[in-house]
Structure 1
Amino acid sequence: MNLKFKKPSKETQMTMSKVASGEDNQDYHSLAEDKLASITNHTNAKLVNSGNSAIMAAMNSIDGAIIIPDQGAWNGFKQIAKFLNKDLITVKTNKGLIDLDNLYESIISSSENNLVDLDDENNKSALFLTSFAAYTAEQDMKAICDFAHKNNILVVEDASGAIGDYENRLANGDYSDVIIGSTGSPKIVNVEDGGFITTNDETLFEKSNLLLKTMKASNITSCGIYNELDYAEENLKRTIDACSYLKEEIEKETNFSVFHADKRGINVIMETDDPKSLSYKLRQEFVLDSHGMITKCPNYNRLKEKAVAIEIKNLDLSCLTYDNLDEMIFVLNKFD
């Protein structure tokens, strides 16, 4: 297998190089922000220097408690909530997927403990979640947002892995109140640096104005994001298609069970009795430049299960050939 770590497109690398050298002096901040707002169906967008900066700016603007999934999300949610001294509520999920019954129970219980206000428009709590649970299973964002809004809860969607969704179900500002994301490697919009936050509510930006100024992305990063957004839809679609193929073939051709096999995702997570051994063996087989594409579970950012994740999202699009995918199946057959 010839596997390569995902990099920005050659066109993006060239344009970023021109800005870095001073050959291109155009200010790309507003250009990139306008394009990003258009893609997410939001009216306002800001570029920042990392995904965690976007989380911090969004979380800082929330007056109420922070609600997060019990797995399949991002450790930064917990860490930044604690740093900002926010009340933190953890919701039980279906292996990362938001369950509306469990969400309702958590909201009601938290309201009885005065952690969540179900009525005060000026004291809304917010649910922070990722578009894909554990990168492997699409969240039902429309249903989640409809439910949350009926209960005076905002929704902040981390769309690092879903920006440019061709189905328009994820990273869609018609549903989520705030959309955040990282544009570092190896994300869908991949410029090896930066992040973003979009919303229709300008007051959220006003509350975090100082943070947004302090964490502002460089013009080089903004140029990269502006250009790389043009490739987001293709990057996402080809990655999802590769994962869907792998999920189906692994279930059919090996003895491994795949978590959320019927869901769109950008990685593949397989159940195993010995994650340590399997992850070690796969790292020897799936050699990816100086980077990795195997994640051992249990892991909050993936699943709290005995499992191994194959991070197809880390691969350059040129590697997502049927020959490579079939060879992965062949390798997995040696270890099942």
Structure 2
Amino acid sequence: MANRSAGGQGDDGGSRADDTQVSGARAGRDAEFLRHRGIVFTIAYDVLGTVADAEDVVQETYLRWRAVQTPVENPRAYLARTASRQALNSLRTASRRREDYPGEWLPEPLPTGPARLPADPEAAALTASEVSTAMLVLLQTLSGPERAAFILHEVFDFGYPEIAATLEMGEPAVRQTVHRARTRLKSGTPRTAPDTGEHRAAVERFLTATMTGQVQSLLEVLAPDVVLVSDGGGKVSAALRPVHGPEKVARLMIGLADKYGAGSVPEFVELNGLPAVAFREDGTVTTVFQLELADGRVQAVYAVRNPDKLIRLQG
């Protein structure tokens, strides 16, 4: 009896030790995932352009990561590969929805800043510099594989062999894909982070001129080839086509201020790593304006009014 009792205690002790070991392994794996979560989210968000879809990819990538039974030599590459494939799968479904989208489609604004960013320093740095609205808009002009290849190579410095394995393409084809994407985005956003102080100053001038009806001041801050793109999602009023030229953009902005200004309260927010303006009506954010600058002047105005894309700005 004593021997059986001793043996039973040993079995229980071994079981507890096994449980502790498994728990420790899971905690270690979770910690590894958190170290690279910023990359996973950024790849998904850059490919898809919506926070909700990106978060779904993050969750699916995490579940696949937890299911792996063998050691992973390069977790960063493994997670980037998984996130890219999941994002491309999701994009195929999203592309069908966007074919019937009313008017212009813009990426969902991503709240950033100290109060919004994850504590992970890598994730914070990536969010601040690699998810600008200007870049996201440009990425929408690329095919899914072009987006993924460009992001992996130009944003995260993955080599061509790693990208080839991720996209299940030959390395020469990947080189061509990255080159084609880079060429199409040649006039787009530089990789270096924009000057937030300059950006804030331009946003302030833009807002002041708009709200006070100073046409000349507004024209001075707008670039000669400025374009305004508005996304209402068919749920609220918005321009169905882009508005081109400083005079037309200035007239539209001041007209909107005259129509809605009395009932709207503007506030500065940080979206996609840069200062922007959100307008609230009765405490609810109804419109956000994000600006793209070129040589200190406003090159593009992105007005998001679709309520589904403003959910994360409420409260």
Q: Which bin holds the TM-score, normalised by the shorter protein?
A: 0.3 to 0.5
TM-score of the superposed pair, with normalisation by structure 2: 0.33
Larger radius of gyration, structure 1 or 2? Answer: 2
> Per residue, is there more helix in 1 or in 2?
2
Specify which structure has the bigger relative contact order, considering alpha-carbon pairs within 8 angstroms and separated by 6 or more residues. Answer: 1
